[in-house]
Amino acid sequence: MATEPDIISKLRAEFVQWEALLARLSEAEIVVPQPDGMSIKDVLAHLMAWQQVSIARLAARSKATSRSCRPGWA
């Protein structure tokens, strides 16, 4: 099983890859709708929302609490 430092390291590496990808795109490219109707901006907003849900769940689990595992906006 992966350790917490391993997981954090992998998440940071993934974040660096996302930053590199997005740095190559212009603002116009990011907001243009794709064939499915969603822009890259829309997809990123979706991913960020689910990332917040995941973080809230992990935080709740690490505190062994029965409180809601949803972020405040959900």
pTM of the model as a whole: 0.67
What lies within 8 Å, CB to CB, of 49 at 6+ separation is 73
Phi, psi dihedral angles at 54 (to 5 degrees)? -60, -45
Each residue of 8-40: pLDDT tens digit? 899 899 999 999 999 999 999 999 999 999 999
> Each residue of 43-64: pLDDT tens digit?
999 999 999 988 888 888 777 6
In our burial notation (b when 16+ CB lie closer than 10 A, e otherwise), range 1-37 reads eeeeeeeeeeeeeeeeeeeeeeeeeeeeeeeeeeeee
Residue boundaries of the structural domains of the chain: 4-62
Residue 40 corresponds to which tokens in the numbers above? Answer: 């890259």
